[in-house]
Amino acid sequence: MGTDQILKKNKHDQKKLSVTHPFHYIFQEQRFVCFLIGIGIAFVVFNVVPSLDSPSSPKGLISTFDESVRVHRRKAYELDAGFSHQNAGGKIPLGLKRKGLRILVTGGAGFVGSHLVDRLIARGDSVIVVDNFFTGSKENLLHHFGDPKFELIRHDVVEPILLEVDQIYHLACPASPTNVMGTLNMLGLAKRIGARFLLTSTSEVYGDPLQHPQVETYWGNVNPIGVRSCYDEGKRTAETLTMDYHRGLNLEVRIARIFNTYGPRMCIDDGRVVSNFVAQALRKKPLTVYGDGKQTRSFQYVSDLVEGLMRLMEGDHIGPFNLGNPGEFTMLELAKVVQDTIDPNAQIEFRPNTEDDPHKRKPDISKAKRLLGWQPNVSLKEGLPLMVNDFRQRIFGDESDHTSASSE
C-alpha cells in the first residue's frame, strides 16, 4: 500500500471513529481541556464584566464598551480614593486600580473651581478646565501649567464644545447673570459622552426663605422679577434642566446647593460680603453693612466645600444636597470677626439694604451628613485668617515685594 493510500485510510478510520464514538473523540488530543478553558473564558467575559456595571448608567446613549470602560475607571477610582464604602460591590480587573479619571471642570479658573482642580490633580486625575476668564483668572491655575495631567481651554460654555471625559463639574457661571445656555450645553455634552454631571447650584434657590434652617425639600420663596432673579431663577432653571436630563435621558447627575463660601483666591471686588469686609478692612476703609446688619448668613471655608462636591460626585445620590456651614452669623457679627482678625479699629458704615436681600440663611445639612458622610470642619475663626493672608498678598503684594526688595 502506497503512502497516499495509508494516509487516506487513517483519515477515513478517524472520521468513522468520531461519528461512531463521540465520547472517544472528545477525550482525545486534550479536546476536553480546551472545552473547559473555553467555558472559563466565557464565564469571565459574561460575569466579571457586567458585575462592574452601574445600575444607574445611561444605557442606550453610548456604546456598551465605552460605558463599561468608563464604569471600570470610575469604580477603580472609588476604591482607590477611599469612597469604596458606597460602591464596593464591583470586581476590579488588575491594572485598572490606579488609573485616574478624566474630568472637566467648567469655571475651573475661578475661586471654588481652582481649589477643586488642585484636589483632583493631587489625587491623580487628568483635568481639563474650560473657562472664559469672565471672573476667574489664569493666576489661580498657574501652578499646574506644564503638568501633563492639566489642560486649560479658553472657551465660553454658552457655545457647545466636544470633549471626552468621565465626569463634568459644572461651575462656570458669572456671579449674577443667568447661565441657562451654558448648563444646557454641558448637559448635552454629558449626554453625548455618557459622563456624570454635577451642577453647582446655590442656596439662592431658596430666595428669602420662609423656612429656617433650609432643608432640601423646601421649594423656596423667590421673586421671579426682582433684581436678583436673574441669578436665582437661572440656577433654579439649571436644576430643572439637570433633573429633566436625568429623568428623560437617564443621565447620571448630581446637584449641590452651595451656601456662602469664602477662602483664598476669592475675587477681591466681586461684592460678596466676606470679600467686601476683608478688602475694606485691609484698605483701612469702613466696612459697609447693608440694612440693620441683623440679616444672617452662614460661611463655609472653601476646602470643606470641595470635599463635599467630590463626595457628592463619587457617591450614589443625586441630591440636591445643601453644602454649607450651619454656623449662623449676623452681618454685624461677621464684621466683628473681621475687625478682630484684621483691624479692631475698623469702622462700620450702614447703607440702605439691597432689594430682595434674604433675611436669614442657614443650611440644614443632615442629608449630606447622612448620605455623603460629610460635614464642614473649618470654623470662621480658623478660615478667615487664611483668606486674609491671601488678600493681603494680592492687595499689597507689589508693595510688600518692593519693600522687602529695597530693604535687602
Q: How many residues does the chain have?
A: 408
Q: Is 136 in the site for ligand NAD (CB under 6 A)?
A: yes
Under the criterion CB under 6 A, does residue 172 sit at the interface with ligand NAD?
yes
What does the block give as the cell for 25?
A: 473523540
What's the closest the beta carbon of residue 132 comes to ligand NAD, in angstroms? 4
**Shortest distance in whole angstroms from residue 70 CB to ligand NAD:** 25
Residue nearer to ligand NAD on the CB measure, 238 or 281:
238
- Residue 308 sits in the site that holds ligand NAD (CB under 6 A): no
Q: Which stretch binds ligand NAD (CB under 6 A): 21-29, 128-136, 207-215, 389-397?
A: 128-136
* Planar angle of CA 368, 372, 375, nearest 5 degrees: 55
Q: Which stretch binds ligand NAD (CB under 6 A): 40-48, 94-102, 132-140, 290-298?
A: 132-140
Q: Does the footprint of ligand NAD cover residue 135 (CB under 6 A)?
A: yes
Instruction: Please identify which residue in 158, 230, 371, 386 interacts with ligand NAD, judged by CB under 6 A.
Output: 158
Q: Residue 319 has which C-alpha cell?
A: 441630591
Is 54 a binder of ligand NAD (CB under 6 A)? no
Q: Does 111 bind ligand NAD (CB under 6 A)?
A: yes
Q: Kindly state whether residue 276 participates in binding ligand NAD, applying the rule CB under 6 A.
A: no
| Binding of residue 112 to ligand NAD (CB under 6 A) | yes
Within 366-395, which residues bind ligand NAD (CB under 6 A)? none
What distance in Å separates the CA atoms of residue 340 and residue 386, rounded to the nearest whole number?
A: 14
Nearer to ligand NAD, 112 or 342 (CB): 112
- Rounded to the nearest 10 degrees, how much is the dihedral formed by the CA atoms of 45, 48, 50, 52? -140
Q: What 8-state DSSP symbol labels residue 224? A: T
Rounded to whole angstroms, the Cα distance separating 148 from 150 reads 5
Helices in 273-365 by DSSP H: which ranges? 273-282, 302-314, 331-341
Site for ligand NAD contains 267 (CB under 6 A): yes
Q: Is 176 in the site for ligand NAD (CB under 6 A)?
A: no
Question: 237 - beta bridge partners?
Answer: none
- The three-state secondary structure class of 169 is strand
Query: CB 112 → ligand NAD: shortest distance, Å?
Result: 3
Active site residue 231: yes
Stretch touching ligand NAD by CB under 6 A, among 73-81, 145-153, 214-222, 260-268: 260-268
**193 or 199, CB closer to ligand NAD?**
199
70 C-beta neighbours (distance < 10 Å), count: 23
Which of 173, 184, 309, 334 is the binder for ligand NAD (CB under 6 A)? 173
Binding range to ligand NAD, per CB under 6 A, among 75-83, 130-138, 325-333, 338-346: 130-138
Contact 306, 112 (CB under 8 A): yes
Indicate which single residue of 90, 113, 209, 213 sits in contact with ligand NAD (rule: CB under 6 A): 113
> CA of 376: how far to CAs of 281, 301, 302, 380, in Å?
26, 8, 10, 11
Please report whether residue 100 would count as binding ligand NAD according to CB under 6 A.
no
- For residue 331, give the H/E element and its range: helix 331-341
Site membership for ligand NAD, residue 171 (CB under 6 A): yes
Q: 180-199: which residues touch ligand NAD (CB under 6 A)?
A: 182
The neighbour count for residue 98, using CB atoms within 10 Å, is 9
| 274, 334 Cβ separation under 8 angstroms | yes
With CB under 6 A as the contact rule, the residue among 133, 247, 292, 377 that binds ligand NAD is 133
The catalytically annotated residue of 231, 245, 262, 301 is: 231
How far is it, in rounded angstroms, from Cα 265 to Cα 143?
13
> Residue from 56, 61, 92, 134 that binds ligand NAD (CB under 6 A)?
134
For residue 148, give the nearest of 168, 167, 121, 115 by alpha carbon.
121
CA–CA separation, 50 vs 53, rounded Å?
Answer: 5
Q: Find the shortest distance in angstroms from Cβ 256 to ligand NAD.
A: 8
User: What torsion, rounded to 10 degrees, do the Cα atoms 65, 71, 76, 77 define?
Assistant: 130
d(CA 112, CA 345): 31
Using an 8 Å Cβ cutoff, are 370 and 316 in contact?
no
Cα distance between residue 259 and residue 308, in whole Å:
12
Q: Is 260 in the site for ligand NAD (CB under 6 A)?
A: yes
Active site residues: 231
- Site residues (vs ligand NAD, CB under 6 A): 106-107, 109-113, 130-136, 156-158, 171-175, 182, 200, 202, 258, 260-261, 267
